[in-house]
Chains A and B, each alone.
Chain A
Amino acid sequence: MPLALVVDDDRSVRFMLQKSLEEISIEVILASTAEEGLHLVLNRRPDVVLLDIMLPGRSGLDILEEIQACDRRLPVIFITADGGSDSAIEAMRQGAYDYVSKPLNLPNLNRLVKNAINSRQLMSVPVALTADPEADSRIRSFVGRSQEMLNVFKAIGRVAAQDVPVLIRGESGTGKELVAQALYQHSHRSDQPFVAINCAALPDTLLESELFGHEKGAFTGADRRRIGKFEQCHGGTIFLDEVGDMALVVQGKVLRLLQDQRFERVGGNETITTDVRIVTATNRPLEEMVEEKTFRADLLYRLNGMTISLPPLRERREDIPLLLGYFLAKSQRALNKPHIEGMSPECLELLTNHDWPGNVRQMQSIVQQAVLNTIGPIIIPEFLPREVSAVCVTVNEAVATKATKTQSVAPRPSAVDPDVPLIGDLGSFIEKRIVAKSTNLSTEVLDCVERYLFTRVLQVTNGNQSQAAEILGVTRGKIRDRIASFNISMERKVQIDGDAGE
């Protein structure tokens, strides 16, 4: 369980933060003075610190300096009485993770603390360039012995220590974020901040503000000055995921930053200088987007100091058994199913021949589901999710034979059957997971519901992602991300419909 340290002389703040964070499964330790807080930083090694900027007799900035001397990567969130105060701005400049002003909004604060813990983990967990399925399950590993993956490892080794921008390309689920982490951890900036931003997850205006910050009054709701990630990440590495989803106006500002490391906050005149390494990733065809004038050519050239391309899983099939072994061992440990001995040959063959449109991320999910479903010591095809066991053979055959007939049919997402768990199944799913002593049930259930929701809406819109985004109130980038994450098939259903029609 992640550990948060709250340092505040106001007992009501300590109480409400402890209650709020414990409800989202974060352990909380408390201190009412700077000395107590620093003692706990040294002895308990928290994952995040929430620090009152004005403790009796001590400036929060001094304490931040001491915390950073102990652990430069520990995210510190300041609690201020006035969000626009100079000390809060200065704190951000000195490397605070963020600041919140009183009165505290607990739902927002919970999200912020979760993000900070996630950042901490991204910075701290070593990425092992190993092909060993026995590797420590706490380490996020690249697994692969294929020539394609060895080339990726070599490329990371060549470019990590250089300060050049790196563009990571690859389909969704191939491990682009792992590459970014590895680049950071093997660079000379590894003791400086690493900040990851998903450009598709934020609306354009919010993304600009998130990256560059804004001045008070820059737009409706900008009631105080805000420091952006580029300023905050001074000296470190910033990872812009889904960079192809960035709006043109933001692209222009990023380009200028890449050229001379300067920018202005939104609504501001002051030019700010920063020193960050930019690592980007996308699964979108940037060259085509340049031709369509939806992506700036000059930015593409600037971002592309070096490209690392991650192969899809279907192009490195020799790694599939290795990966299956890795995820099987990992799921066994995570789900506490030590009695499972392995997979049957039929099951292995089915999975080896699968096309894995969602790549490694999909495989991880499939193996986890199989481990959950398995009764007895061996995983057999019956225990695989239906998207693999039932559809793999029949639909793939259909795809092969009917492809030419269906090319003009607009892709539609498969949804209610056979792939997507029905909401009605949710009760039994939850019961199963409770019996299995899940420690991640909230995420599992929310994933399940989200998967159903996205698929259902895409069905309603006949696969039109823009319409789906409008209905769901999210960005198109998020729709694309969820299609990939949840392995929502936009083709398979078409093939099935084709069959049904004949």
Chain B
Amino acid sequence: MSRVAFIALIPPQLAGRHSTHIENLTGSESRHRTIMKTETFAGNGSICTEVVLERLNGDRALMAKLAGFFLEDAPRLVETLRADIESGSAPRIAGSAHSLGGLASTFEAKSFTRLTTAIERNCRQGDTSEMTELMQQLDAEFLWLIADLREFVASPIASDGEPIR
């Protein structure tokens, strides 16, 4: 998904909240310069790079690799979750939400994992009443998350060579 396409897909209710982020997306060159100077990555705020790197022993190449896995695997898992919600099977929904949450937790994607946890917890208690609403919120957060991970993978932070020790 290109950045332009991503902006078009931002749900209207999130556009205000993330307006500065949208601005950032269009000014990628200046942001990259900042990144090279400070060696941090802000993105849209759906991930916390510093904390992730601390847990990964400072290994940026590893984080980029894991982000690549997420970008490849997560869309399929989101679709599985959506299908499970449509089928109404609480155990299956809980299982899919669990897998998705586990995958996203690597990147400190708090907003996203809060939603997968809520979906899983409700389903474990047999409550599927709010699934459609939660799924909508999850879809929106998912877009921010994959956008940030794509940004990270493409950024100089992720591609500056050897793992940091």
Is the Cβ of B106 less than 8 Å from the Cβ of A11?
A: no
Instruction: Tell me, yes or no, whether B108 is within 8 Å of chain A by CB.
Output: yes
Of the residues A15, A103, A105, contact of B69 by C-beta under 8 Å: A15
CB contacts (< 8 Å) of A103 on chain B: these are 52, 55, 105-108
Please, what's the 1-or-0 string for A68-108, where 1 marks a CB less than 8 Å from any CB in chain B? 00000000000001100000000000000000001111110
In angstroms, Cα B54 to Cα A106, docked, is: 9
Report B152 CB to chain A, min CB distance, Å: 14
Instruction: Tell me, yes or no, whether B102 is within 8 Å of chain A by CB.
Output: yes
In angstroms, Cα B52 to Cα A106, docked, is: 10
Instruction: Tell me, yes or no, whether B62 is within 8 Å of chain A by CB.
Output: yes
Instruction: Tell me, yes or no, whether B15 is within 8 Å of chain A by CB.
Output: no
Q: How many residues of B contact A (CB 8 A)?
A: 23
Is the Cβ of A81 less than 8 Å from the Cβ of B105?
A: yes
Instruction: Tell me, yes or no, whether B101 is within 8 Å of chain A by CB.
Output: yes
Instruction: Tell me, yes or no, whether B56 is within 8 Å of chain A by CB.
Output: yes
Of the residues B59, B95, B102, B117, contact of A10 by C-beta under 8 Å: B102
In angstroms, Cα B99 to Cα A92, docked, is: 22
Is the Cβ of A102 less than 8 Å from the Cβ of B102?
A: yes
Is the Cβ of A81 less than 8 Å from the Cβ of B101?
A: yes
Is the Cβ of B66 less than 8 Å from the Cβ of A106?
A: no
**In the complex with contacts A81-B101, A81-B105, A104-B106, A15-B57 CB distance below 8 A:** no
Instruction: Tell me, yes or no, whether A428 is within 8 Å of chain B by CB.
Output: no
In angstroms, Cα B118 to Cα A123, docked, is: 42
Instruction: Tell me, yes or no, whether B39 is within 8 Å of chain A by CB.
Output: no
In angstroms, Cα B47 to Cα A420, docked, is: 48
In angstroms, Cα B117 to Cα A81, docked, is: 10
Is the Cβ of A106 less than 8 Å from the Cβ of B65?
A: no
Instruction: Tell me, yes or no, whether B31 is within 8 Å of chain A by CB.
Output: no
Is the Cβ of A16 less than 8 Å from the Cβ of B66?
A: yes
**In the complex with contacts A15-B69, A16-B66, A19-B62, A10-B55 CB distance below 8 A:** no
Please, what's the 1-or-0 string for A1-33, where 1 marks a CB less than 8 Å from any CB in chain B? 000000001111101100110000000000000
Is the Cβ of B106 less than 8 Å from the Cβ of A15?
A: no
Instruction: Tell me, yes or no, whether A54 is within 8 Å of chain B by CB.
Output: yes
Report A323 CB to chain B, min CB distance, Å: 40
Instruction: Tell me, yes or no, whether B41 is within 8 Å of chain A by CB.
Output: no
Report B165 CB to chain A, min CB distance, Å: 9
A56 and chain B: residue at smallest CB distance:
B95
CB contacts (< 8 Å) of B86 on chain A: these are none
In angstroms, Cα B118 to Cα A82, docked, is: 13
In angstroms, Cα B19 to Cα A29, docked, is: 46
Please, what's the 1-or-0 string for B95-118, where 1 marks a CB less than 8 Å from any CB in chain A? 100110111011110000000010
CB contacts (< 8 Å) of B62 on chain A: these are 16, 19
CB contacts (< 8 Å) of A56 on chain B: these are 95
Report B104 CB to chain A, min CB distance, Å: 9
In angstroms, Cα B103 to Cα A104, docked, is: 11
In angstroms, Cα B9 to Cα A8, docked, is: 33
**In the complex with contacts A12-B66, A15-B69, A102-B105 CB distance below 8 A:** yes
Interface residues of B (CB under 8 A from A): 52, 54-57, 59, 62, 65-66, 69-70, 73, 95, 98-99, 101-103, 105-108, 117
Known contacts A12-B70, A15-B65; 10 further A-B pairs (Cβ under 8 A) = A12-B69, A16-B66, A19-B62, A54-B95, A81-B105, A82-B117, A102-B106, A103-B105, A104-B55, A107-B55
Q: Would you give 7 A-B contacts (Cβ < 8 Å), ordered by A?
A: A12-B106, A13-B102, A16-B56, A16-B62, A54-B95, A103-B105, A106-B55
